[in-house]
A = this chain, B = another copy of it.
Amino acid sequence: MASTQEPQDKRRRVDADAVVASDPDSLITSADPEHPANLIPSLCAKFWTLGWVTGTGGGCSIRDDDLVYIAPSGVQKELMKNTDIYVLSLSAQQDPTFRQRTYLRSPPCYKPSQCTPLFLAAFTRRGAGCCIHTHSQWAVLVTLLLEQQQQQGSGSGSGRNVFEINNIEQIKGFGKGPSKQGNLGYHDTLRIPVIENTPHEEDLTEYLEAAMEEFPDTYAVLVRRHGVYVWGDNVHKAKTQCESLDYLFQLAVEMRKLGIPWVSDIPRIAPDRS
């Protein structure tokens, strides 16, 4: 789950090539619970209890140097096993001669996830080590409230395509951005772009990538009436950022029910020394 490319990287790719020719299942076989092929199932089981991956929706992908591990399509997330995991080479996907996606290792049943190109976007464009996609109802409701706000002409801030919240402690759970040190401060405004949903999940890729470009510091993109993609430099950061964001989405929905605005201008009682 390194976020930088080390020389060891090259050796791994060579190993991977050899593995494909001989025993692809060795890519997903390990006694280490922190191995991506073990970690994805245990994370997804946890996400299921949180209501993030209901009815086979949502998913999770981990990158370990050049190797990308992805949950398959249509699996019950709380029942997933390491043997259900797809593995592919990130560098191979970026090869200009690349035509069709090939997997170093595929599960015997199941189909590849339509989320794959969106996960890859987080890995290639942001150097992320993990990307989580949830169908959390709080995420969906936030996008609906932004849409409603615009229709009613009562929106403040950046309109229907950005979720904004500030002056909530949990905002400090997010990094300032890939090229910046440290996390957001309490008084900072967290901004999460919203893209419109498309009939086919893979068609979201260009919009997700455009949002990444427009919001170079974001670690997440909301998809209207669908859910959210959240990533991080490693599994720890992706997972805790995803939790913090879901907390904020739920809080925002409750705030709306109670008539409390998401963005406020409150006085500072102590200096922000960060």
Contacts and interface: CB of A to CB of B under 8 A. Distances in A.
A167 to B, nearest CB: 5
Interface string A22-44: 00000000000000000000000
B255 A258 contact: no
Interface in A131-156: 135, 137, 140-141, 144-145, 148
Contacts of A207: 269
Range of interface residues on A (Cβ < 8 Å): 35 or more
B55 A244 contact: yes
Contact of A135 (B140, B239, B241, B247): B247
A225 interface: yes
A88 to B, nearest CB: 23
**Assembly stoichiometry (copies):** 4
Interface in A48-80: 51, 54-57, 74, 76
B173 A55 contact: yes
Interface in A170-188: 170, 173, 185-187
Given A167-B225, A186-B225, A199-B270, 8 more contacts: A54-B247, A55-B170, A169-B197, A186-B199, A200-B270, A200-B272, A253-B254, A256-B258
8 contacts: A51-B247, A55-B173, A55-B244, A74-B240, A148-B259, A186-B225, A187-B199, A196-B269
